Amino acid sequence: MNASFAPGGVLAGGLHAVSGPDHLAALLPRIMGQKWHKSMRIGATWGLGHGFSATVIGLAAFFFKDRLGLGHNKRLVAMMGSWTEGLVGVSLIAIGLLGLKESLLDYDETPAYEAKSAGSAVVEGGGAPGGGGMTKSRGGGRAIFFNGVLHGFSWDGAPSLAPALALSSWGSVLWFLLAYCSGTMVAMSATTTLIGEGSVRVGKALDQPDIPRKLSVVSSFVAIAIGAVWLAKAVFF
């Protein structure tokens, strides 16, 4: 039965989504200081984009596996992988810089009395109370989706898609890949929900509403550092 491959796809997609350091690095600056519902939406949108591109890769690989000689295409595959890794690195650096801008510059432009007047109420937009600029949107749904797509086209997730190549029918492959996509969405949305809501609650519990902003600054630097590593790997190795 084709659907019997679905559990394996969900597990493969979920494990890959939460195990990639570049994945969380891309999302941490966006979810710090965000309430659970907004963090969950960000994670699910990114996971959908990642699953979409992984599905495209899986279907293409299954189509070409018996049609093209692997030996003649190793150089092309390696070149495509390097270009994609370089783009992922650039996107991580851009996300980190944008996170720093919103956490530092935009936060500083918020009047101090506005943060104090918020009290313990939840600021509209899902940010942490008194978080100032942290309540700003961290990027539209399209940007988050396409960032997930870009990460999905990098070759670091290829091993988790390998089972699709061992299947014998299009139906089985499609079931596996759709389950893989679902796994990335569920795992990433659960992870971002816990992190985003957790950062808000920590700020409340410690009576330090700027904690989400500080966490966002740290996560932005992490994104920049990981992006630099990916970019260097693509250019020099």
Supply the mean pLDDT for the chain. Answer: 76
Number of domains composing the chain? 1
pLDDT in tens, 97-129: 887 887 777 555 444 434 443 443 333 344 444
Q: Phi and psi (nearest 5°) for 34?
A: -105, 140
pLDDT in tens, 60-103: 888 877 665 554 555 655 666 677 778 778 888 888 888 788 77
In the structure encoding, which two tokens stand for residue 150, read together? 């870009």
Which range of residues forms the domain containing residue 186?
A: 2-236
CA 90 – CA 220 distance, rounded (Å): 13
Which pLDDT band holds residue 161 (cuts at 50, 70, 90)? Answer: confident
- Name the one residue in this structure whose structure tokens are 């969380």: 24
Which pLDDT band holds residue 51 (cuts at 50, 70, 90)? Answer: very high
Helix (H) or strand (E) holding 16: helix 6-19
* Cβ pair 216, 47 in contact under 8 A: no
* Cβ pair 199, 32 in contact under 8 A: yes
3-state helix, strand, coil in the chain (%, to 5): 80, 0, 15
CA 168 – CA 213 distance, rounded (Å): 50
| DSSP characters over 168-186 | -SHHHHHHHHHHHHHHHHH
List beta partners, residue 127: 34, 123
pLDDT in tens, 5-23: 778 888 888 888 888 777 8
In the structure encoding, which two tokens stand for residue 40, read together? 């969950």
Residue 181 half-sphere exposure toward CB, CA atoms < 13 A? 21
Instruction: Give, to the nearest 10 degrees, the angle between helix 21-31 and helix 36-64.
Output: 150
* Cβ pair 104, 134 in contact under 8 A: no
pTM as predicted = 0.71
Name residues whose C-beta falls within 8 Å of residue 200's C-beta, 6 or more positions apart in sequence. 33, 34, 35, 127, 128, 129, 212
pLDDT of residue 164: 76
